[in-house]
């Protein structure tokens, strides 16, 4: 690391004290929602969601949205939990709570663009894991959702520099990471990792945040990182990206993460029509839009 | 498909139709036979287009229509009718914007600086199954707009082939209704078309690089002569072929391309399970196929 970068890195770490804290609801609810089906305490989940008025309202809004057409209106948190199922509730809780710490940061990437990409990556990660029959599919959603959280950290801590990154990336139609490296001397992967450690996220998820653009063989859960890598890429290729055109051609099957997954799951990988899978992803556009509209409805953003 | 007509179609597909499990069976059948895949967000189109055919033949339920397509004597004819219905209305100028962007922003700028290209200074394109010519003329306009100003002395040569003589007559005539040019700005219309009453006639500068020809893609001898292309387009044609004919045809396309060349199918078509020499490549919003350069590493296309 050159002295200039090192200086910047030090400055950055000292500034991290001003970083947002993990919403407390996620600390308590996260544990409840990750319990195995036998240990699931629905009453406790309903109670915790009900404590947080804006989260409860958002659960109801999503439960009543066009995405989940129902005969009767869902009126209580309990009904919402039962109607949507714990897994969907988990998705809503995470995707509505995670943006909160970053509310009010006007600079950088538009919040709605960022969360569309985040939710898209989460859903595609889960789906790809399901197709390949990767173990622990549930976790893939939670790994995909925050993988780019470093973008928000960079927007928050270096508003002007990061604005320049976005402008340059857009003008040159190149991947964000490359421009971050040139302009800032580090990428959102590194900033994201620092936040993940401060938030004490599970080690495999922190690792995915750090390595999702360049998975390496020594990771604790290399499969998870590889799935998220591909999901992130697919989202950027199918209209759920960073909000600008990336002029690149990708041979997904030749990407190392795909080869790693193919080696571990030869049968399911060989049977997957990647072109068809790509077309199928377009249906997430609607789902993601509904969720993001729900989070940022009335232009007020997360409360 | 324009946003407006999509919205109109969307309103006419009922919730009951969209939730009918037989629609999924129909989708899978079409995918198996033609390679066209309707994702869930395209179900309303599938439902509506199937309904149109069902109305004509007097079938009321998707399950019954599925039987018509699988077990009845005239199933092949009806499948062909359905595929016609599915692919109808996809020919207009600058349809499939993501593929056009991929060609103009990613592929053409890569072809032009290639060392082997410097002597000839020519990009060669084959539009196989050119229908009424919109795709070929779009490519010609694209080249004039995006590449010609930046790369002096470069030329494009477009070979546009179709089996139908009627289509070829329309291609050569180059006269289009307002509907076909709706994606073009008034400036672009003015620049590349001459208005004749309500119709738009393509100007000679756009016409010059294109050679229209009759070609049957099943004609094994003639196909052997189709060589040296940088790009091949074949949208919604293979869907009518059985799997052996598909494979044979795609192999000809592969052999007709220069190493490093690209092949594009229709928007929702896939080559999976048909021919594995091509490599599937992703561009923003579209997919295509790439013929590797000998010795090219997997992953060498960064």
How far apart CA A290 and CA B41 sit, in angstroms, is 14
Quick one: A113 and A170 in the same domain? yes
Quick one: A200 and A247 in the same domain? yes
User: Is B279 within 8 Å of A282 when comparing Cβ atoms?
Assistant: no
Whole domain around residue A33: which residue ranges? 14-97
Q: What is the mean pLDDT of residues B275-301?
A: 85
pLDDT band at B301 (very low <50, low <70, confident <90, very high): very low
User: Is B270 within 8 Å of A241 when comparing Cβ atoms?
Assistant: no
User: Is A283 within 8 Å of B279 when comparing Cβ atoms?
Assistant: no
ipTM of the shown complex: 0.85
Q: Name the more confident of A71 and B295.
A: B295
User: Is B270 within 8 Å of A256 when comparing Cβ atoms?
Assistant: no
User: Is A238 within 8 Å of B285 when comparing Cβ atoms?
Assistant: yes
pLDDT over 80 at B76, yes or no: yes
Q: How many CB atoms lie within 10 A of CB A270?
A: 8
With contacts defined as CB-CB under 8 Å, which chain B residues touch A241? 284
Whole-number pLDDT of residue B94? 85
* Angstroms from A157 CA to nearest CA on chain B: 30
CB A214 within 8 A of CB A197: no
Whole-number pLDDT of residue A133? 94
pLDDT band at B8 (very low <50, low <70, confident <90, very high): very low
Whole-number pLDDT of residue A69? 57
B300 touches chain A (CB under 8 A): yes
With contacts defined as CB-CB under 8 Å, which chain B residues touch A252? 280, 282
Q: Name the more confident of A73 and B104.
A: B104
How many domains are there within chain A? 2
| The residue to which tokens 């019954």 are assigned | B64
Chain A, nearest residue to B291 by Cα: A251
CB A204 within 8 A of CB A224: yes
Residue A9 in any domain: the answer is no
Whole-number pLDDT of residue B62? 95
Whole-number pLDDT of residue B100? 92
Tens of pLDDT, residue by residue over A121-167, are 999 999 999 999 998 887 898 899 999 999 988 988 888 999 999 99
3-class DSSP assignment, residue B234: coil
User: Is A278 within 8 Å of B40 when comparing Cβ atoms?
Assistant: no
Q: Name the more confident of A64 and B288.
A: B288
* Angstroms from B126 CA to nearest CA on chain A: 21
Interface size A-B, in CB pairs within 8 Å, comes to 92
Quick one: A24 and A165 in the same domain? no
User: Is B284 within 8 Å of A237 when comparing Cβ atoms?
Assistant: yes
pLDDT over 60 at A299, yes or no: no
pLDDT over 70 at A302, yes or no: no
Whole-number pLDDT of residue A298? 47
How far apart CA A197 and CA A178 sit, in angstroms, is 24
Among A251, A253, A271, A281, most B C-beta atoms within 10 A, so best to mutate, is A251
Query: Count of residues for chain A?
Result: 303
Residue A173 in any domain: the answer is yes
Among B99, B280, B283, B296, most A C-beta atoms within 10 A, so best to mutate, is B280
> What's chain B's average pLDDT?
89
Query: Comparing C-alpha atoms, which of B232, B201, B198 is closest to residue B217?
Result: B232
Q: What is the mean pLDDT of residues A242-265?
A: 94
Q: What is the mean pLDDT of residues A45-72?
A: 79
**Residues 45-84 of chain B whose Cβ lies under 8 A from any Cβ of chain A:** none
User: Is B270 within 8 Å of A275 when comparing Cβ atoms?
Assistant: yes
User: Which residue, A33, A63, A97, sits at the end of a domain?
Assistant: A97
* Angstroms from B297 CA to nearest CA on chain A: 9
Q: What is the mean pLDDT of residues A93-104?
A: 78
Q: Point out the least confidently predicted range of A131-135, A287-291, B176-180.
A: A287-291
Which residues, 6+ apart, have CB-to-CB distance to B144 below 8 Å? Answer: B192, B205, B206
Could you tell me the CATH number of the domain that includes residue A147?
1.10.3210.10
How far apart CA B207 and CA B160 sit, in angstroms, is 11
* Angstroms from B52 CA to nearest CA on chain A: 24
Tens of pLDDT, residue by residue over B107-141, are 998 888 888 888 888 999 999 999 999 999 999 99
User: Which residue, A66, A97, A128, sits at the end of a domain?
Assistant: A97
Tens of pLDDT, residue by residue over B197-214, are 999 999 999 999 999 999
Query: In Å, what is the CA distance from A170 to each residue of A66, A183, A244, B97, B223?
Result: 33, 14, 6, 19, 43
Q: What domains does chain B contain, in order, with CATH numbers?
A: 3-87 (1.10.155), 97-290 (3.40.50.150)
Whole-number pLDDT of residue A287? 77
User: Is A252 within 8 Å of B283 when comparing Cβ atoms?
Assistant: no
A246, A256, A275: residue with CB nearest B284: A246
Whole-number pLDDT of residue A193? 92
Residue A297 in any domain: the answer is yes
Q: Name the more confident of A297 and A228.
A: A228
pLDDT over 80 at A68, yes or no: no
Whole-number pLDDT of residue A24? 79
Q: What is the mean pLDDT of residues B66-79?
A: 92
Record the pTM. Answer: 0.86
Whole-number pLDDT of residue A276? 93
Residue A130 in any domain: the answer is yes
Q: What is the CA radius of gyration of chain B?
A: 20
Quick one: A218 and A272 in the same domain? yes
pLDDT band at A215 (very low <50, low <70, confident <90, very high): confident
Q: What is the mean pLDDT of residues B216-225?
A: 93
Q: Point out the least confidently predicted range of A16-20, A202-206, A263-267, B150-154.
A: A16-20
A238, A251, A278: residue with CB nearest B290: A251
With contacts defined as CB-CB under 8 Å, which chain A residues touch B298? 251, 253-254, 259
What proportion of chain B, given as a percentage, has pLDDT over 70? 93
C-alpha B233, offset from chain centre: 6
Whole-number pLDDT of residue B69? 94
* Angstroms from A85 CA to nearest CA on chain B: 20
Quick one: A239 and A298 in the same domain? yes
How far apart CA A39 and CA B170 sit, in angstroms, is 69
Tens of pLDDT, residue by residue over B226-243, are 999 999 999 988 988 888
User: Is A247 within 8 Å of B31 when comparing Cβ atoms?
Assistant: no
Quick one: A118 and A40 in the same domain? no
Query: In Å, what is the CA distance from A294 to each residue of A43, A92, A242, A287, B17?
Result: 24, 10, 20, 11, 27
Whole-number pLDDT of residue B4? 38
With contacts defined as CB-CB under 8 Å, which chain A residues touch B290? 249, 251
Quick one: A212 and A271 in the same domain? yes
Quick one: A59 and A111 in the same domain? no
* Angstroms from B161 CA to nearest CA on chain A: 26
With contacts defined as CB-CB under 8 Å, which chain B residues touch A254? 279, 297-301
Let me know the angle formed at the C-alpha of A78 by A76 and A83, rounded to the nearest 5 degrees: 95
Quick one: A110 and A83 in the same domain? no
pLDDT band at A227 (very low <50, low <70, confident <90, very high): very high
pLDDT over 90 at B90, yes or no: no
User: Is B268 within 8 Å of A252 when comparing Cβ atoms?
Assistant: no
Residue A1 in any domain: the answer is no
pLDDT over 60 at B7, yes or no: no
Quick one: A127 and A268 in the same domain? yes
pLDDT band at B1 (very low <50, low <70, confident <90, very high): very low
Quick one: A84 and A171 in the same domain? no
With contacts defined as CB-CB under 8 Å, which chain A residues touch B302? 248
User: Which residue, A97, A122, A152, sits at the end of a domain?
Assistant: A97
User: Is A274 within 8 Å of B105 when comparing Cβ atoms?
Assistant: no
User: Is B106 within 8 Å of A283 when comparing Cβ atoms?
Assistant: no
Whole-number pLDDT of residue A147? 95
B40 touches chain A (CB under 8 A): yes
Whole-number pLDDT of residue B6? 41
Quick one: A124 and A83 in the same domain? no
User: Is B272 within 8 Å of A274 when comparing Cβ atoms?
Assistant: yes
Among A169, A234, A247, most B C-beta atoms within 10 A, so best to mutate, is A247
* Angstroms from B102 CA to nearest CA on chain A: 8
Whole-number pLDDT of residue B228? 95
* Angstroms from A56 CA to nearest CA on chain B: 29
């Amino acid at each position: 690391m050159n002295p200039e970068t090192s200086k910047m890195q030090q400055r950055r770490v000292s500034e991290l004290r001003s970083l947002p804290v993990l919403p407390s609801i996620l600390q308590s609810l996260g544990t409840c929602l990750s319990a195995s089906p036998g240990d699931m305490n629905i009453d406790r989940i309903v109670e915790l969601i009900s404590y947080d008025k804006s989260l409860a309202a958002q659960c109801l809004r999503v439960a009543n949205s066009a995405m989940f057409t129902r005969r009767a209106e869902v009126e209580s948190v309990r009904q919402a939990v039962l109607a949507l199922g714990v897994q969907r509730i988990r998705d809503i809780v995470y995707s509505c709570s995670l943006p909160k710490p970053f509310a009010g940061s006007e600079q950088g990437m538009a919040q709605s663009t960022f969360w569309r990409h985040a939710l898209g990556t989460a859903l595609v990660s889960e789906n790809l894991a399901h197709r390949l029959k990767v173990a622990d599919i549930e976790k893939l959603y939670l790994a995909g959702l925050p993988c780019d959280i470093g973008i928000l950290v960079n927007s928050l801590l270096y508003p002007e520099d990061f604005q320049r990154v976005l402008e340059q990336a857009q003008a040159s139609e190149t991947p964000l990471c490359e421009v971050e490296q040139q302009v800032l001397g580090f990428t959102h992967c590194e900033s994201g990792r620092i936040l993940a450690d401060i938030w004490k996220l599970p080690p495999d998820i922190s690792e995915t945040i750090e390595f999702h653009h360049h998975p390496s063989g020594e990771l604790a859960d290399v499969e998870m990182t590889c799935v998220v890598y591909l999901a992130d890429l697919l989202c950027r290729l199918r209209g759920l990206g960073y909000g600008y055109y990336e002029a690149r051609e990708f041979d997904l099957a030749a990407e190392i993460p795909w080869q790693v997954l193919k080696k571990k799951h030869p049968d399911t990988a060989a049977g997957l029509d990647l072109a068809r899978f790509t077309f199928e992803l377009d249906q997430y556009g609607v789902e993601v839009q509904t969720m993001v509209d729900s989070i940022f409805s009335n232009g007020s953003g997360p409360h | 498909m324009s946003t407006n007509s999509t919205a109109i179609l969307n309103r006419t597909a009922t919730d009951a139709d969209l939730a009918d499990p037989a629609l999924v069976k129909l989708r899978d059948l079409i995918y198996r036979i033609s390679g066209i895949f309707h994702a869930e967000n395209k179900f309303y189109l599938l439902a509506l287009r199937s309904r149109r055919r069902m109305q004509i033949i007097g079938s009321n339920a998707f399950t019954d229509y599925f039987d018509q397509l699988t077990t009845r004597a005239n199933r092949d004819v009806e499948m062909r009718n359905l595929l016609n219905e599915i692919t109808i209305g996809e020919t207009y100028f600058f349809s499939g914007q993501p593929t056009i962007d991929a060609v103009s922003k990613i592929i053409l700028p890569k072809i032009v600086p290639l060392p082997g290209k410097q002597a000839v200074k020519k990009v060669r394109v084959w539009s196989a199954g050119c229908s009424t010519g919109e795709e070929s003329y779009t490519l010609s306009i694209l080249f004039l707009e995006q590449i010609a100003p930046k790369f002096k002395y470069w030329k494009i040569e477009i070979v546009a082939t179709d089996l139908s003589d009627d289509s070829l007559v329309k291609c050569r005539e180059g006269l289009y209704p307002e509907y076909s040019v709706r994606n073009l700005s008034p400036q672009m219309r003015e620049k590349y078309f001459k208005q004749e009453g309500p119709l738009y006639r393509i100007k000679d500068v756009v016409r010059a690089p294109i050679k229209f020809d009759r070609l049957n893609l099943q004609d094994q001898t003639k196909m052997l002569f189709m060589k040296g292309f940088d790009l091949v387009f074949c949208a919604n044609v293979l869907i009518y072929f059985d799997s052996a004919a598909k494979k044979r045809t795609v192999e000809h396309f592969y052999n007709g391309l220069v190493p490093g060349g690209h092949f594009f199918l229709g928007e929702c078509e896939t080559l999976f399970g048909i021919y594995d020499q091509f490599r599937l490549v992703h561009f923003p919003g579209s997919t295509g196929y790439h013929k590797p350069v000998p010795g090219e590493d997997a992953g060498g296309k960064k």
